[in-house]
Structures are given as structure tokens and as C-alpha cells.
């Protein structure tokens, strides 16, 4: 599939061929139908947000902020496949992506405050990227999403 890749500040994104894995565990493979272009994406490109890419390399945030990076975090599309532990959506469902993940089972989620989730089910920094170039170089997904792409593999 093709994705718009961010390499470094002040440079145009490049459209490149990227290999995407099959969904594992609680992951969902989505065919992208549309994506917003948010200022948060632009902040990374033009460095108007206080992001120090070097400082992020070893932080949990680093895994989904580090170039090469498929940008975009406001996507919509159609589910193509789901991992074996997914029960909430199925192939054919129309979905939107959300960078604010929540567990739906902690006290905050159950009292109507999923934005304050105590156990957000994110990929950990140690997990391997799900996208890669043909030469094997990993491609990270902005906010674990990467919606500037033909497909998204999301948690
Ligand atoms: Zn946004
Ligand atoms: Zn929760």
C-alpha cells in the first residue's frame, strides 16, 4: 500500500510503497476512505509544537513519533480484517480512528469519562512496528494510527 512518509522537519512528505502486517491480537486492519489533515500533523513537520525528536527516541511516545513516520491521525474507513482477540468490529464495518484510546472497563470508562481512561490499551514502545519498507526498514505510525495511507493497522 502507499503511505505519505515524514522523514524530517521542514521537508515535504513522500508517497512511498509500504508493507503492512496482518492484524494480531486486538488489532484491526482498515481500508482508509478519508483522513483529516490536522494541525498536529503540521506541527510535527514545521516544528511549531515543542517536540524534541532526539529526546523521544527512548520514551514511550517515541515509538509513534519517530521517523520514518506515516503521518495522520484522523482517519475513517472500512474494516478489512481483525485480529483473533477483536470482538467489537468485523470486516465491512465503517469506522473512525481515534488517538484517545480507552479500555471500556476501568472506573473512568464505566462512568462516562473514557478520555480519562486509567488503562489505555496502547502498543508498548517495545513492540515491533507493523509497517515497513521493502528493504525491511520499520515505518512508525503517528499516534499509533498513520492515517495518511491506503490502509491502517490500528489497535
Ligand atoms: Zn488532530
Ligand atoms: Zn478505561
Express each pLDDT in 54-105 by its tens digit: 655 555 555 567 889 999 999 999 999 999 999 989 999 999 998 877 888 9
pLDDT 10s digits, 16-45: 999 999 999 889 999 999 999 988 888 888
For 144: left if phi > 0, alpha if psi spans -120 to 50, otherwise beta; the answer is: left
Classify the C-alpha dihedral 26-56-137-15 as positive or negative.
positive
Ligand with smallest separation from the Cα of 43: 1
Q: How far apart are CA 32 and CA 45, in angstroms?
A: 22
For 121-146, give one letter per residue: b (16+ CB within 10 A) or e.
eebeeeeebbbbeeeeeebbbbbbbb
* Structural domain for 136, as ranges: 2-154
Q: How many CA atoms lie within 13 A of 52 on its CB side?
A: 4
Nearest ligand to the C-alpha atom of residue 143 = 1
Distance 123 CA to ligand 1 centre (A): 19
In the chain, how many domains are there?
1
Ligand 2 mean position, distance from CA 122 (Å):
11
- Domain CATH number, residue 149: 3.90.180.10
pLDDT band at 152 (very low <50, low <70, confident <90, very high): very high
Amino acid at each position: 500500500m502507499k503511505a505519505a512518509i515524514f522523514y524530517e522537519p521542514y521537508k515535504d512528505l513522500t508517497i512511498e510503497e509500504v508493507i503492512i502486517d496482518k492484524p494480531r491480537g486486538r488489532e484491526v486492519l482498515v481500508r482508509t476512505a478519508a483522513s483529516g489533515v490536522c494541525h498536529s500533523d503540521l506541527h510535527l513537520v514545521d516544528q511549531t509544537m515543542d517536540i524534541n525528536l532526539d529526546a523521544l527516541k527512548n520514551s514511550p511516545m517515541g515509538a509513534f513519533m519517530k521517523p520514518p513516520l506515516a503521518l495522520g491521525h484522523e482517519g475513517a474507513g472500512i474494516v478489512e480484517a481483525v485480529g483473533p482477540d477483536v470482538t467489537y468490529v468485523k470486516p465491512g464495518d465503517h469506522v473512525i480512528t481515534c488517538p484517545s484510546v480507552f479500555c471500556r472497563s476501568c472506573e473512568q470508562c464505566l462512568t462516562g469519562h473514557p478520555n480519562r481512561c486509567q488503562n489505555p490499551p496502547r502498543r508498548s514502545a517495545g513492540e515491533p512496528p507493523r509497517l515497513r519498507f521493502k528493504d525491511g526498514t520499520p515505518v512508525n505510525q503517528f499516534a499509533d494510527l498513520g492515517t495518511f495511507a491506503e490502509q491502517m493497522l490500528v489497535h
